[in-house]
A = this chain, B = another copy of it.
Amino acid sequence: MTEKNPLIFRTEVREEDIENVRSICISTGFFYDIEIPVAVELVEERLRSGLSSGYYFIFAEIGGKTVAYACYGPIAGTEGGFDLYWIVTYNDYRGQGIGNRLIEETHKAVRGMGGRFLVAETSTLEKYTPTRHFYDRAGYTVEARIDDFYKKGDGKVFFVKRF
């Protein structure tokens, strides 16, 4: 990310984003093997069904390379509730504030659709401390928590950003 190669956002979803999302997620070393196909599946579902899939994407590009992405969508049965399903930065591009700018762009998009709030679910494990700090800094609050959710000793926290 330089003056010559600024960060650019793109909301159009392309066939090659299947591979982009796969390699971004793998690069982090953060997700379990079984989680990667879940991330990829949302791109495929979006390509198949368009916006009616309920999956919205924002891709962040630098010099033509897709370096981060966010996937979010309306929560069925709510007025203005949105889930933030995934927000991931390519490992080599972490620590440059790309995630912060991407989440801000996501908030802008959600507000633009009349969103009242965005929920990001994450784990209570030590490993996810950077993730929880990331949501903290982005103005999210832990509004709820279910202990021993993912497995014994691994709870789920609900970070909520209100608009």
Contacts and interface: CB of A to CB of B under 8 A. Distances in A.
Nearest to A150: B78
Contacts of A151: 78-80
Nearest to A77: B150
A160 B77 CA distance: 21
Contacts of A148: 116-117
A76 B150 CA distance: 9
A149 B78 contact: yes
Nearest to A34: B77
Contacts of A119: 146
Contact of A146 (B77, B79, B160): B160
A104 interface: no
A144 B109 CA distance: 28
Contact of A143 (B35, B146, B152): B146
Interface in A43-86: 76-81
Contacts of A116: 148, 152
A135 interface: no
A153 B158 CA distance: 19
A79 B78 CA distance: 28
A52 to B, nearest CB: 14
Given A38-B76, A79-B150, A144-B158, 14 more contacts: A38-B77, A77-B150, A78-B149, A78-B150, A79-B152, A81-B149, A81-B150, A116-B148, A116-B152, A119-B146, A143-B145, A144-B144, A144-B145, A146-B158
What are the 3 A-B residue pairs with the smallest beta carbon separation, nearest first?
A: A144-B144, A79-B151, A144-B146
